[in-house]
């Protein structure tokens, strides 16, 4: 019984596929619709994945970031020089050749024009101390040299150099009344640090009239397990009011709002474009059923059941979705993966550079969505074909 049923499905499905050239135009429209939806949805969601990847690369479990209590980011935080020294004295911080592996840092915003549009946009300008490079595990100078402490020299992250104009080695960046000389470019595994410009923290304090204040302390712990003791030790100091994160925790919190926004936009686009693709698939499959009315009725008269007819139409629609999905996946990967862009980091109100990241999970998600669109597009036409009275079908011209 099962073998006969499967044989009927196979026979009807083969007949359907052989007739595809007769309705090539409608089939191409449906394929383009599904492929377009998959391309756009995967492309939009790859923005969130790229942004998440940039922040994940900066995250480490054995590096802690200390902010003032009640602060959610560096822009709203602040410490005096005395407080940063108290933090650096913590026994849970690793020691190097010149003392604690910790960097007291200042974070300000400067305006730099975009390469593409020429319009000024906010770019992070970070003042760091001597241990900053050691705290970023993938840090390396790729062009030029490190800035000289005590001078108006800056180094520029790779992402910032690619997205913003006037940051070539040897150029000068004007910020307020200060002229900063670009002396080097650096990389850090594609992390968020590559969106920044670095200089000496003491020089930046003077240029921005910040006295001896800092906004955060970044420190390497003796081990990831030392985090709780580090927190407890700092909160026990009456003069300190702090929040302590691992780098990974901090950047996960920073990325949450943008990733949620991109995912929500992607969902809306997927629904709206998906409706159009479903209508295209419906039109194609209704056309397929209409052109084969007599054939389907003849098969029914010869003893073929209604279930094989339903399944055969659904199989054809699913194959339509599969082919369209594969085309869309290929286009999305070739067009978007690795494409560099910048967007606003709403936590710091500055630009962050990133690369669109088309992950295998996104491609699978796009393919599943394409198959769902094909099934939805074939459902109603398949039911119509199965319910068509044999007598009426045989009378069709």
String of DSSP letters for 168-186: STT-EEEETTEEEEEEEEE
Q: Write phi, then psi, for 316 (nearest 5 degrees).
A: -65, -45
DSSP alpha helix (H) spans, 67-164: 81-88, 132-135, 158-163
Q: Residue 257: how many CB atoms within 10 A of its CB? A: 12
Average pLDDT, consecutive stretches of 10 residues, N- to C-terminus, the chain (397 residues): 56 61 68 81 81 70 90 88 92 85 91 85 90 87 94 94 92 87 92 89 92 93 91 89 88 72 71 69 62 60 63 75 88 86 61 78 87 75 63 50
- Residue spans per domain, the chain: 2-56+254-395, 70-240
| Model pTM score | 0.70
Rounded to the nearest 10 degrees, the angle between the axes of helix 306-336 and helix 360-387 is 150
Say what the pLDDT of residue 126 is.
94
DSSP alpha helix (H) spans, the chain: 2-18, 24-58, 81-88, 132-135, 158-163, 201-207, 227-235, 247-291, 293-301, 306-336, 360-387, 390-395
* Both tokens assigned to 318: 């699913």
Say what the pLDDT of residue 171 is.
94
Query: Which residues neighbour 359 within 8 Å (Cβ) at sequence distance 6 or greater?
Result: 46, 49
Give dist(CA 163, CA 183) in Å, integer.
18
Give dist(CA 370, CA 365) in Å, integer.
9
Say what the pLDDT of residue 295 is.
60
Residue 67 CA, distance from chain mean position: 26
Say what the pLDDT of residue 375 is.
77
* Both tokens assigned to 89: 């004295």
CA distances 167 to 131, 145, 219, Å, are: 24, 14, 29
Say what the pLDDT of residue 192 is.
81
């Amino acid at each position: 019984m099962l073998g006969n049923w499967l044989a009927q499905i196979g026979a009807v499905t083969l007949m359907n596929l052989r007739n595809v050239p007769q309705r090539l135009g409608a089939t191409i429209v449906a394929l383009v619709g599904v492929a377009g939806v998959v391309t756009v949805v995967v492309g939009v969601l790859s923005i969130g994945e790229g942004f998440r990847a940039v922040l994940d690369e900066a995250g480490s479990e054995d590096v802690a970031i200390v902010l003032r209590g009640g602060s959610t980011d560096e822009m709203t935080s602040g410490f005096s020089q005395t407080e940063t020294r108290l933090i650096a004295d913590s026994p849970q911080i690793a020691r190097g050749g010149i003392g604690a592996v910790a960097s007291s840092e200042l974070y300000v915003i400067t305006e730099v024009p975009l390469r593409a549009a020429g319009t000024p946009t906010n770019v992070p300008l970070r003042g760091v101390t001597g241990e900053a490079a050691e705290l970023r595990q993938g840090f390396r100078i790729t062009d030029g040299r490190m800035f000289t402490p005590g001078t108006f020299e800056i180094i520029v992250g790779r992402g910032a150099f690619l997205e913003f104009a006037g940051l070539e080695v040897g150029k000068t960046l004007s910020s307020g009344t200060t002229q900063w000389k670009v002396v080097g470019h650096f990389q850090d595994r594609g992390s968020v640090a590559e969106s920044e410009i670095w200089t000496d923290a003491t020089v930046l304090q003077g240029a921005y009239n910040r006295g001896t204040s800092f906004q955060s302390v970044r420190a390497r712990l003796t081990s990831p397990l030392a985090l709780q003791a580090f927190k407890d030790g700092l909160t026990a100091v009456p003069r300190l009011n702090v929040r302590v994160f691992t780098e990974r925790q901090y950047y996960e919190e920073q990325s949450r709002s943008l990733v949620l926004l991109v995912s929500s936009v992607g969902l809306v686009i997927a629904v709206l474009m998906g409706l159009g693709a479903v209508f295209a698939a419906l039109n194609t499959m209704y056309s397929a059923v209409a052109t084969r009315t007599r054939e389907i009725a003849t098969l029914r008269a010869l003893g073929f059941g209604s279930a094989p007819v339903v399944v055969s139409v659904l199989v054809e629609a699913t194959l339509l979705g599969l082919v369209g999905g594969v085309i869309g996946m290929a286009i999305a990967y070739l067009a978007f993966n690795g494409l560099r862009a910048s967007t606003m980091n709403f936590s710091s109100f500055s630009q962050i550079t990133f690369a669109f990241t088309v992950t295998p999970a996104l491609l699978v998600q796009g393919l599943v969505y394409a198959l769902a669109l094909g099934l939805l597009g074939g459902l109603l036409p398949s039911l119509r074909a199965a319910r068509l009275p044999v007598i009426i079908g045989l009378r069709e011209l």
